[in-house]
Amino acid sequence: AAPCLDRWSAGDATRTVSNLAAGIYSVTVTDAEGCSAASSYGLRENNTLRITYAVTPTSCLDNASGAINLTVTGGTMPYTFLTSNGATTEDLQNLTAGSYFVTVTDSSGCQMSASVYVYKKTFQVNAHITQPKCYGDSTGSIILSPTGGTAHYQYTWSTGATTDSLTNLTGGTYTVTVTDSTGCSSLFVYTLTTPKQIQATPAIVTTACNTFSVNLSVTGGTQPFQYQWSTGAQTQDLTGVSPGTYSVVIIDANSCTITQQVAIDSTATVSCAISPLSQPPVCLSSGNMIFSSVVGVQYQWQLTSTDNSWVIQSGATSDTLRYLAGNPNTTATFTLTVNKNGCSQSCTYVVSACSSTGSTGGTNNENCKDAFSSTISKTSDNGTCATYTWTVSTDGNSRYGLSHTVISIPCGQLSGYSDSGNYPLVVGTDPTTGVTGLKVDNVNNFGDQPASITVEFTLCYSTDCATVLQNWNPVVSYKAGLCIAYDTISVQSGGSVTTAYPNPFQSTFQIDVTATTNDVVSVDVCNQYDQKILSSISVPVTGNVKNQIKIDASALQPGIYIYKMRTSTSVYYGRVLKLN
């Protein structure tokens, strides 16, 4: 029912409202009876202004050469402009780098704003880089192509060059400053990497007697590799070749080459030699020895005689053979076969007859070797001279007293020597036993009771002699009455030092062992014929301290016995005497 009352959210109480801004408007209509109804209306702004712009960057020197060119569409012209730097023009000139806020207002009061950034002008440099192909060569290059700057460009290289490219470069780091015609410049750094040097390592393998293969390991360079051997082979490894010198050219994927020489030593072939006896052995005597001067090989001895009375006692696979001489008027043939790297050679030595007497006449009915024994140890070595202690012992059961004993010296110069008994010491070859070395002469009262003589001597050596001494097993000869006997002993030094005591002993003896590292050693006790007569003993030892190994020999008969101590690297020998 009329009349009605209109109430707008904008505060007006009329039916019509005008001059409204964009937004949401609500109205409540109430009639005379108090009935009402509400409704909402939304108005949106009809602003069609649009701003686009084009930016001219300022120089890299930021010299206010930048510009903003505005383009305005929509709205109602004319437009007014206001920029954050205070300018009121449509387009802006002489600008430095930075952000500018522009507001555009049309004649209806509609506004539109935009933020425009003016940046510094820069340029890019593209580089075409060629790396060096081979180790140590100068095949690298850097070629520059600038874009985005203002020609012409200037170049200043760390090498001093002023061109847009560098050639004939080795591996390394190169820097360049590029400047355009406006004075803008940038620094660029380039690194060239040289391939690693081609290296070849040959390993020579023996495949058969005088036949070898070469296994070649190649590193560095650029794979894959090609191979050109002097034999014509084109494989990485070489097979089935004889001693000689070979070369291989190795070519990598960049055509880089090296030449590797491979020498296969002809000394890999083996020779055989038996040292002649200085005099025939005494017939039916035991413990005689014959030697081979060849080292670094495997040995196999054979002994034949016209009546089979000559017998091998021990050492059939060593450089020293111990044998029993046969009957008078018999001929013996010693045959030695040596093997190295699959090559074998044989040689023989013939004894046409043994001697029925010693050098002083008479018969030889005893083995004086059972009554005498020797040990030797190296006590010091300064690299040019070494000092040794040689001990000669007797169990006191020799029928005749020892007249002299000789230890063989293979090389070097004796610079000093002395003995505990003040006996004459003579250097040279003993005419009685044929042993060349150091002789203890004119010994008396030695052999009828347990005793010992200690000889100390210093031996100076050359480089070649040092090699010989590394494998030196001295021969010791004994002359007592009509008896001549020989013994081969081992030099104790370096890896372990051993001492056996008490010596002589009655039931047990002890071996003191000082090793340079922790190890496990085994000990055998053998008779004079190198036959093991006690079970092996295996004992762990600690390095650089004295280790004690007790040997129970109570079950053995009185006499001289040999103990052999084996370490992981060496074998050491010693003699002990068991008393009644």
**DSSP track, 346-393:** EEEEEE---BSS-TTSS---S-GGGGEEEEEEEEEE-SSEEEEEEEEE
Dist CA 274 CA 118 (whole Å): 102
Predicted confidence at residue 418, as pLDDT, reads: 92
Q: Which residues of 379-408 are buried (b: 16+ CB within 10 A; e: fewer)?
A: eebeeeebbbebbbbbbebbeeebbbbbbb
Residue 3 has pLDDT above 70, yes or no: no
pLDDT reading at 262 higher than 90 = yes
| Residue scoring higher pLDDT (410 or 126) | 126
Choosing among 2.60.40.1080, 2.30.29.30, 3.40.630.10, 3.40.440.10, the CATH entry for 124-192 is: 2.60.40.1080
Structure tokens at 491: 């030099």
- For residue 365, the model assigns a pLDDT of 37
Is residue 4 scored above 70 in pLDDT? no
pTM value? 0.41
Reference 369, options 449, 284, 440, 286; nearest CA is 286
Q: Is the dihedral of CA 481, 484, 485, 491 positive or negative?
A: positive
Select the more confidently predicted residue: 329 or 302: 302
What is residue 32's predicted lDDT score, i.e. its pLDDT?
72
CATH domain 50-118 topology: Immunoglobulin-like (2.60.40)
pLDDT on residue 357: 45
State how beta strands 372-381 and 491-492 pair: parallel
Is 547 within 8 Å of 515 (Cβ atoms)? yes
Question: Which bin fits 158, alpha (ψ -120 to 50), beta or left (φ > 0)?
Answer: alpha
Please give the single-letter amino acid code of residue 166: L
Tell me what pLDDT residue 344 has: 86
What are 56-94's pLDDT values in tens digits? 998 888 888 899 999 999 988 999 999 999 999 999 999
What pLDDT is recorded for position 358? 40
pLDDT score of 118: 93
Check residue 425 and give its pLDDT. 93
CATH class of 496-578: mainly beta
Residue 403 has pLDDT above 50, yes or no: yes
| Per-residue model confidence as pLDDT tens digits over 212-244 | 899 999 999 999 999 999 999 999 999 999 888
Query: What sign does the CA torsion over 162, 163, 168, 173 have?
Result: positive
SS (H, E, C) 513-575: EEECCCEEEEEEEECCCCCEEEEEEEEEECECCEEEEEEECCCCCCEEEEEEEECCCCEEEEE
Closest alpha carbon to 283 in 374, 376, 387, 355? 355
pLDDT band at 562 (very low <50, low <70, confident <90, very high): confident
Q: Looking at the domain that runs over 368-492, which CATH code has it been given? A: 2.60.40.690
Give the model's pLDDT for residue 154. 96
Instruction: Identify the three-state secondary structure at position 134.
Output: coil
Mean per-residue pLDDT of the chain: 85
CATH topology for 199-268? Immunoglobulin-like (2.60.40)
Rg of the chain taking only CA atoms, in angstroms: 53
| pLDDT of 300 strictly over 90 | yes
Tell me which residue of 146, 219, 142 sits closest to 178, measured CA to CA.
146
Res 254 pLDDT > 60 = yes
